[in-house]
Amino acid sequence: MIFELQVVFGLIALAGALSAALLKDPYAKLIALGILVSGALPFIVDRGYLDVAIVASLIAPISTIFVLMAVRRAET
């Protein structure tokens, strides 16, 4: 992978991890976890684990929907 892209994706993953750790709002945490996954996924693909990348890209949005439904139910 191109070095500049590695730095950019690493910074995206780091920003997602830091914001997920620091934010208190559950919706903001979910967005931060999505940013974290989007920053880590290119590294998984770069190593050649395409099956893991496909599963992660399919499971992340589905689990986000379920967590959003649970958070919304807990708020009401």
Per-residue pLDDT reduced to its tens digit, 10-28:
999 999 999 999 999 888 9
**Structural domain count of the chain:** 1
Per-residue pLDDT reduced to its tens digit, 51-73:
999 999 999 888 888 888 888 88
Instruction: Dig out the tokens for 51 from the structure.
Output: 């099956």
Q: What is the largest CA-CA distance in the chain?
A: 47
Beta strands in the chain (DSSP E): none
pTM: 0.80
- Please check the confidence at residue 44 and state whether its pLDDT lies above 90: yes
pLDDT of residue 26: 85
Q: Which domain holds residue 67?
A: 3-75
